[in-house]
């Protein structure tokens, strides 16, 4: 009886997987990969945001000191402040990011066959995918940053904001207050540097990942450790190049209730100049060492889990899917001419 139920369950799962379209499988795989990777590195993400936005309080005590301060004042859960908003953002973001990357990649191959299938293709597809995902999920990133920034001490210490207001009480409360204060524009404050940063970062991440894999012998390309290594280096290189824009974005997001920012930041380039003039150029790379510790496992885990999820969900390989699409288009385009030819022959 148990074996029969197990067999029926397996058949049901097979039926569900077979009926799912490819883009839905890619959405699921990307969402799981993003959520898992983000949760693993959540403590480092919290400290990185504090380094970027609360320079005097946390940079002076260093990485270990920051860990101790959060542990003493907030406990273990303090390392996950804002992580609910972070996961709520990263799951749809990663799902859209990976799925859009695959779709853009197929579209480019189908529409511009002369581009080829090398790393340049991955650079283009990754850049477009990153921009698409940011536009759809940016408000959640803004809320995540505000929650991670404001809740510095334990609630029992009764810490207030700069104007005596209570800190945001959660994701929905933060959303409603931002919307009431600034409307839709408030929910997208700092989106410009995000887009400036994500286009090169996302494209470079996929570019370096695929470029590195091209040097791996075929018999080792499916090894998990190889994927982890390639993903780590790809994330590290991409993040280093675009990190200053991430600092600008964070400071623009929190400046309305930040006492440390004396200049009004109204644009990406102006904000960049203000940070350099008032805080020094080193501030543009504040928290980068922590980000290395975060990006290396995050990107590596993300790529690896995504590939494993695609395998479990039985997603066909990129080349197979692209070949099918191109073949279908050719058959569709040639069918009218074929039918006309057959009609002409029958008339003769």
Domain spans of the chain, in order of start: 19-151+168-258+266-316
Work out the burial of residue 345: count CB atoms within 10 Å of its CB; fewer than 13 is exposed, 13-18 middle, 19 or more buried: exposed
Contacts made by residues 205-208, CB under 8 angstroms, sequence distance 24+: 205/126, 205/234, 205/235, 205/238, 205/299, 206/101, 206/122, 206/123, 206/125, 206/126, 206/234, 207/119, 207/120, 207/122, 207/123, 207/126, 207/234, 208/233, 208/234, 208/237, 208/238
Q: At the fourth CATH level, which superfamily is domain 19-151+168-258+266-316?
A: Mitochondrial carrier domain (1.50.40.10)
Q: What proportion of the chain, given as a percentage, has pLDDT over 70?
A: 76
Work out the burial of residue 48: count CB atoms within 10 Å of its CB; fewer than 13 is exposed, 13-18 middle, 19 or more buried: buried
Q: Residue 326's pLDDT is what?
A: 53
- Residue 262 CB contacts under 8 Å (≥ 6 apart), including other chains: 278
Mean pLDDT, residues 257-284: 72
Work out the burial of residue 170: count CB atoms within 10 Å of its CB; fewer than 13 is exposed, 13-18 middle, 19 or more buried: exposed
| Token duo for residue 224 | 């998990």
pLDDT in tens, 82-119: 777 778 878 999 999 999 999 999 999 888 887 777 77
Asked if 30 and 96 touch (Cβ cutoff 8 Å), the reply is yes
Distance of alpha carbon 233 from alpha carbon 43, whole angstroms:
21
Q: Residue 132's pLDDT is what?
A: 94
pLDDT in tens, 40-71: 888 888 877 777 676 566 666 777 788 888 88
Asked if 209 and 231 touch (Cβ cutoff 8 Å), the reply is yes
Q: Residue 94's pLDDT is what?
A: 93
Asked if 125 and 108 touch (Cβ cutoff 8 Å), the reply is yes
Work out the burial of residue 136: count CB atoms within 10 Å of its CB; fewer than 13 is exposed, 13-18 middle, 19 or more buried: middle
Report the chain's C-alpha Rg in angstroms. 24
Q: Residue 336's pLDDT is what?
A: 53
Closest residue by Cα to residue 33 from 337, 265, 313, 334:
313
Q: What is the dihedral of CA 204, 207, 210, 213, to 10 degrees?
A: -70
Mean pLDDT, residues 115-130: 86
Asked if 38 and 114 touch (Cβ cutoff 8 Å), the reply is no
Q: Residue 339's pLDDT is what?
A: 47
Work out the burial of residue 178: count CB atoms within 10 Å of its CB; fewer than 13 is exposed, 13-18 middle, 19 or more buried: buried
Local structure of residue 117 (DSSP, 8 states): S
Instruction: Say how many C-beta atoms besides its own lie within 10 A of residue 235's C-beta.
Output: 27
Mean pLDDT, residues 199-221: 86
- Residue 56 CB contacts under 8 Å (≥ 6 apart), including other chains: 260
């Amino acid at each position: 009886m148990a074996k029969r139920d197990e067999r029926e369950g397996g058949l049901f799962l097979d039926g569900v997987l077979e009926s799912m379209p490819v883009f839905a499988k890619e959405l699921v795989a990307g969402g799981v990969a993003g959520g898992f990777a983000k949760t693993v590195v959540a403590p480092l993400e919290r400290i990185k945001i504090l380094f970027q936005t609360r320079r005097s309080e946390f940079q002076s005590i260093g990485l270990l000191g920051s860990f101790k301060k959060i542990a003493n004042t907030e406990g273990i859960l303090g390392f996950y402040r804002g992580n609910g908003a972070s996961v709520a953002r990263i799951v749809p973001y990663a799902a859209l990011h990976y799925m859009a990357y695959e779709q853009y990649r197929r579209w480019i191959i189908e529409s511009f066959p002369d581009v080829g299938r090398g790393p340049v293709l991955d650079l283009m597809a990754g850049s477009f995918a990153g921009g698409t995902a940011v536009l759809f999920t940016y408000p959640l990133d803004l809320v995540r940053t505000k929650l991670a920034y404001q809740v510095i001490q334990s609630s029992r210490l009764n810490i207030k904001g700069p104007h005596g207001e209570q800190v945001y009480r959660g994701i929905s409360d933060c959303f409603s207050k931002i919307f009431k204060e600034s409307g839709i524009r408030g929910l997208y404050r700092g989106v410009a540097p995000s887009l400036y940063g994500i286009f090169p970062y996302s494209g470079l991440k996929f570019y370096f990942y695929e470029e590195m894999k091209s040097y791996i012998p075929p018999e080792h390309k499916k090894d998990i450790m190889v994927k982890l290594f390639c993903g780590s280096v790809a994330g590290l290189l991409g993040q280093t190049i675009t990190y200053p824009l991430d600092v600008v974005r964070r400071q623009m997001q929190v400046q309305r209730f930040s006492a440390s920012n004396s200049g009004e930041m109204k644009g990406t380039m102006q904000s960049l100049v203000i940070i350099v003039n008032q805080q020094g150029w080193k501030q543009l790379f504040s928290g980068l060492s922590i980000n290395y510790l975060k990006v290396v496992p995050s990107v590596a885990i993300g790529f690896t889990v995504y590939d494993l999820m695609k395998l479990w969900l039985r997603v066909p390989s990129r080349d197979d899917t692209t070949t099918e699409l191109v073949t279908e288009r050719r058959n569709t385009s040639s069918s009218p001419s074929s039918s006309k030819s057959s009609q002409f022959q029958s008339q003769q």
